[in-house]
Structure 1
Amino acid sequence: MVVFRAVAQQLSFRKAAEELYLTQPAVSLQIKALEEDLRVQLFDRTGSRVALTAAGKTLLNYGEQVNALLQQAEEEIAAMGGELAGQLALGASTTIAQYVLPRLLAEFLGQYPRVQLSLMSGNTERIVEAVVRHEIALGFIEGPSRSKDLREEPFLADELVLIVPAAHEWAEREHITTAELSSFPMLMRERGSGTRRVVEMALERHDVKPASLRIAMELDSTEAIKSAVDAGLGVGFVSKWAIAKDARTGTSFRIVDVNGLRVQRQFLMVFAAGLEPQGVVQEFRRFLMARAAMRDATEVRRRRGA
């Protein structure tokens, strides 16, 4: 069933093989053997396309139910001994996966070593899709999900700032105007990215149309934007979380204030609507919200003391 679920979720024998660290022929043989045992075809293999048949969809539905029951049993048995255990499947958009979650996950696993954690990374659209398809229990995204099938909870504040090369003519200025943003090559995240969506929405509120920007490159990660700025290929917006370490260690780019423009957002936690998280998932949710509240309180104290 493990191999079948992997192929059914990925709808790709190659991707399932990579996920399971098996060869593609080995995956194909196991699926063939399962189909022979059940005397039905589970996948429609038309050309390069793989799709579930009606029998395959039925088996996947029962397989997911069995997997959920096994996880519940593991959690309840662990709870009898006063421990928290079970599988925790998470997904996060790139910025959150790289810069926000690692320390939080390390702390959580330090408290609950029997939890088995997996973390998927992708842009906001990919993470939303994974939650809707129940591939992961919780998703963390950088912009609105736009899905009626999900519930959203803000868990951390963020701000996007404009960075330019250290030698750029804007680097020593106190601020620039929004109109000037169209005068230099702009580096943007790819379409489907929550970061791009938030930047475009903020600019449009200041009458800067995305079409007016000189978009030089579309890049699939914040690190790629930082490297491109460093190389002098343009200017771009990145999360403050993504440059916190750079600010401490020194960097070859500068943050430039755009007069009147504040690109603020909330990182969001998303999960399936109608399903209240339970067990390990609920405990991790509580853990994150408690850490977020502690950070907010620290920020308030810092501002009062400033």
Structure 2
Amino acid sequence: MENFRLKVFRAVAAEMSFRKAAEVLHLSQPAVSQQVRSLEEEAGARLFDRGNSDGHGSQIVLTEAGRVLLEYATAAAETMAEAQRALAALNDDVTGELRLGASTTIAQYVLPRILGAFLRQYPHVHLSVVSGNTERIAEAVAEEQVALGIIEGPAMRRDVKTERMVQDEMVLIVAPGHAWARAGAIAPAELEKAPMLLRERGSGSRRVVERALKKAGIPLRLLRVVMELDSTEAIISGVEAELGVGFVSRCAIGKALRLGTIRTVQVNGLEIVRDFSFIRLAGTDATGAVAAFQRFAMGSSHAG
């Protein structure tokens, strides 16, 4: 949709070479030179200073007029790209790159099902996903390494904004032979007696657990934290190996419950719920593939 002469001009300005611009655009070098000459005639000003070269080599620099036009040409190209994305969205024909970030529990247990269905509906989206704890994903969004994140705890930053995706519950799990498994429910004070497996610092899951326990009158210093682990799967494996007890997302334990390798235990008066949330750079709106994915994920989450 961009004016072709401006596209050629931007390519020459980017490469500072007619020859290299021709290679990038898959045109002949004379064709590139002709497009630039025509644009100069239309603008009424020279856009490049060819110096002592013949105009076909690499010894060129932008003139003052060229620098001014380049600024506007770049803005125009960005505007037309945005228009193209908006038009594609109206036609439900979403294309382009989608860079997602997801905290570890979501990346492992929630996202795969959603992504498979999303790519079947939007096959022209090129998707990449990075994972890490909530703190790492918030940082990636703030630094624009990913366009959209999904996190499982508070973002703890002011340069990003969050939007609820779906609610999740965290539950206490123990090994089948643990005394609490037979009891079925325990008082909150009982938590101080058992070796506890926790997620690492910076994890959204850990923040949520800490806040809930503190609200129930059990600060972290009263617990016997024997191990800090970097994933939900590691906590489940540790509980199965009878290394301790731990809090994990209910969405992560379906397989282990079916196999009978863990049990859930109710802590009287303690309910740990949290939001899985979308996270974007503050001041930005969801458009194109990002907007399509948010809509799709919201629908999938509430349906499932």
Q: Return the TM-score normalized by structure 1.
A: 0.70
1:156 deviates by 1.0
> Which of 127, 131, 134 is 1:121 aligned to?
131
Percent identity between the aligned chains? Answer: 50
Structure 1 residue 97 and structure 2 residue 107: aligned? yes
Matched residue of 2:253: which SS?
helix
Structure 2: distance between partners of 1:246 and 1:222: 12
1:166 deviates by 0.8
> Which of 169, 175, 180 is 1:170 aligned to?
180
Structure 1 residue 289 and structure 2 residue 298: aligned? yes
* CA radius of gyration, larger in: 2
1:183 deviates by 0.4
1:80 deviates by 9.6
Q: Given residue 260 of structure 1, which amino acid in structure 2 is its aligned partner? A: G
Kindly report which structure 2 residues correspond to 1:6-17, keeping only aligned pairs within 5 A, or say none. Answer: none
In structure 2, what is the equivalent of residue 145 of structure 1?
Answer: 155
Structure 2: distance between partners of 1:185 and 1:92: 29
1:277 deviates by 1.1
Matched residue of 2:114: which SS?
helix
Aligned Cα root-mean-square deviation (Å) = 2.4
In structure 1, what is the equivalent of residue 66 of structure 2?
Answer: none
Q: Given residue 291 of structure 2, which amino acid in structure 1 is its aligned partner? A: Q
In structure 2, what is the equivalent of residue 250 of structure 1?
Answer: 259
Matched residue of 1:270: which SS?
strand
Structure 1: distance between partners of 2:90 and 2:213: 54
In structure 1, what is the equivalent of residue 241 of structure 2?
Answer: 231
1:79 deviates by 6.4
1:241 deviates by 0.5
> Which of 253, 257, 270 is 1:261 aligned to?
270
Q: Given residue 255 of structure 1, which amino acid in structure 2 is its aligned partner? A: T
Instruction: Indicate if the aligned counterparts of 1:71 and 1:87 stay in contact, CA closer than 8 A.
Output: no
> Which of 195, 200, 212 is 2:210 aligned to?
200
Structure 2: distance between partners of 1:100 and 1:292: 9
Alignment gaps of 5+ in structure 1: 1-36, 38-64, 296-306
Structure 2: distance between partners of 1:87 and 1:95: 24
Structure 2: distance between partners of 1:122 and 1:213: 26
Q: Which deviations, in whole Å up to 9, do the C-alpha atoms of 1:151-183 show, x marking residues without a partner?
A: 111111111101111111111102111101010
Q: Which deviations, in whole Å up to 9, do the C-alpha atoms of 1:240-288 show, x marking residues without a partner?
A: 00002323x3221111111111111111111011111111111111112
Q: Which deviations, in whole Å up to 9, do the C-alpha atoms of 1:85-111 show, x marking residues without a partner?
A: 100000010000000010101000000
Structure 1 residue 272 and structure 2 residue 281: aligned? yes
Structure 1: distance between partners of 2:151 and 2:253: 18
Q: Given residue 181 of structure 1, which amino acid in structure 2 is its aligned partner? A: L
In structure 1, what is the equivalent of residue 65 of structure 2?
Answer: none
> Which of 180, 199, 209 is 1:189 aligned to?
199
Structure 2: distance between partners of 1:270 and 1:66: 28
Structure 2: distance between partners of 1:270 and 1:107: 21
Q: Which deviations, in whole Å up to 9, do the C-alpha atoms of 1:58-96 show, x marking residues without a partner?
A: xxxxxxx99978975874796698622100000010000
Structure 2: distance between partners of 1:191 and 1:70: 44
Instruction: Indicate if the aligned counterparts of 1:187 and 1:235 stay in contact, CA closer than 8 A.
Output: yes
Q: Which deviations, in whole Å up to 9, do the C-alpha atoms of 1:43-66 show, x marking residues without a partner?
A: xxxxxxxxxxxxxxxxxxxxxx99
Instruction: Indicate if the aligned counterparts of 2:151 and 2:277 stay in contact, CA closer than 8 A.
Output: yes
Structure 1 residue 135 and structure 2 residue 145: aligned? yes
Instruction: Indicate if the aligned counterparts of 2:150 and 2:276 stay in contact, CA closer than 8 A.
Output: yes
Alignment gaps of 5+ in structure 2: 1-57, 59-74
Q: Which deviations, in whole Å up to 9, do the C-alpha atoms of 1:179-237 show, x marking residues without a partner?
A: 01010100000000000000000000010010010000000001100111111100000
Structure 2: distance between partners of 1:150 and 1:227: 34
In structure 2, what is the equivalent of residue 301 of structure 1?
Answer: none
Q: Given residue 154 of structure 1, which amino acid in structure 2 is its aligned partner? A: R
Q: Given residue 218 of structure 1, which amino acid in structure 2 is its aligned partner? A: E
